[in-house]
A = this chain, B = another copy of it.
Amino acid sequence: MKKHNFNAGPSVLPQVVIENAAKAVIEFGGTGLSLLSISHRTPEFEAVVNEAQALFRELMQIPDNYKIFFVGGGMSTQFFHIPANFLGKKAGYINTGVWTKKSIKEAKRYGEVQVLATSEDKNFTYIPKGFDIPEDLDYLYICTNNTIYGSEYHTDIDSPVPLIADMSSDIMSRPVDVSKYAMIVGGAQKNLSCAGVSFVIIRDDMLQKVVRDVPTMVNVNTHVDNNSMFNTPPVFPIFVMNETLKWLKSIGGLKEMYRINKEKADLLYNEIDRNPLFRGTVEKEDRSLMNICFIMAEGKEDLAPEFMAFAKERGMVGIKGHRLVGGFRASCYNALPKESVEALVACMQEFEQLHK
């Protein structure tokens, strides 16, 4: 049976990426060796790192005064790397869910944390707006897409202080104005690669703003100065990321990716809004294009386990909602084919007929 992969991460990747990754495991780039057995210092792999950086710059239109690097570990590691590097006195955080709460917790070890706004009052079902940003902050930290709750910032906010964004789960899903950010960071295992590598986009002036003597591997300068090669980088995840970036370019880049993502999300949100058995959990204007959360409509809650089984029988994978929200979550990352969304919508309509 055809599987429809709605996993929240690690998650669906383009088929061509998977095939090229499997081939490279057997033999890589004419070296006569497996990608798993080559030195990371070979010209063939250095070319992969350089190509991935160049594609980042091209696809996201990253200005020249930004550096890009890749490093092992995921966003949980970056939660403390960011304040370790940049929190001297006081930083501002916008609390939009579990991941920002975790980043706030790590930041408090390094200085004062001002939570400028939070949507915790309504279980993180919206993105706070209209908050003041004090000008004496070392930085403002946001998470642009909240995987667990299905909320997403749809504008690049203006900040008078350096804006640092965790884009783990919506990186390259749409064009962003990079010039509004001082740093964009995330784990790659949703839209860009398998698990095991993080990407960091950082404005040059931030490299001078490291406020304390941090461990070598924590210091952002280490990775910039050594072109992601200070230590042995996660070779395979970087290769997979580069293949995904090539695929993104081949389909037409981020504008086209955004058009496709919008189309997929509209398809599913329209069904959620139309179908009397279901309802969305997030304020309409803040709904994520990546993680689409919905629950059974009022009075229909008992049908949830039946729908879960019904969908599973039809090949849907990973649509169980996070325990903090309940219900269902369909993660519709870049590589999810439109036909998978259509299959889920058909499934919801079929289920509706059964319960008329």
Residues in chain A within 8 A of chain B (CB atoms): 1, 3, 5, 7-13, 18-19, 21-23, 25-26, 31-40, 72-77, 79-80, 84, 102, 105-106, 109, 187, 189, 193-197, 213, 215-218, 230-237, 240, 317-318
Contacts and interface: CB of A to CB of B under 8 A. Distances in A.
A355 B318 CA distance: 66
B233 A195 contact: yes
B21 A36 contact: yes
Contacts of A10: 36-40, 232, 235
Given A10-B36, A73-B72, A213 B25 contact: no
A39 B12 CA distance: 10
Summarize A's interface: helix, strand, loop or mixed. Answer: loop
Contacts of A234: 72, 195-196, 234, 237
B217 A318 contact: no
A42 to B, nearest CB: 9
19 contacts: A5-B37, A8-B39, A10-B40, A12-B37, A13-B37, A21-B36, A22-B26, A33-B317, A40-B195, A72-B73, A72-B74, A73-B77, A75-B231, A76-B231, A79-B215, A80-B215, A80-B218, A194-B236, A196-B236
Nearest to A231: B76
B195 A76 contact: no
Given A194-B236, A232-B10, A234-B234, A216 B33 contact: no
Nearest to A233: B195
Contacts of A196: 72, 196-197, 234-237
Nearest to A190: B232
B318 A39 contact: yes
Given A80-B218, A194-B235, 16 more contacts: A5-B33, A5-B37, A7-B38, A10-B38, A10-B40, A13-B37, A18-B37, A19-B26, A22-B22, A79-B216, A79-B217, A80-B215, A195-B234, A196-B196, A196-B235, A236-B237
Contacts of A9: 39, 232
A333 B78 CA distance: 33
Contact of A18 (B8, B36, B318): B36
A261 to B, nearest CB: 18
A3 B21 contact: no
A316 to B, nearest CB: 12
Contacts of A73: 72-73, 77, 217
Nearest to A230: B76
Contacts of A236: 194-196, 236-237
B7 A74 contact: no
Given A1-B32, A25-B18, A37-B12, A74 B232 contact: yes
Nearest to A232: B195
A230 B102 CA distance: 12
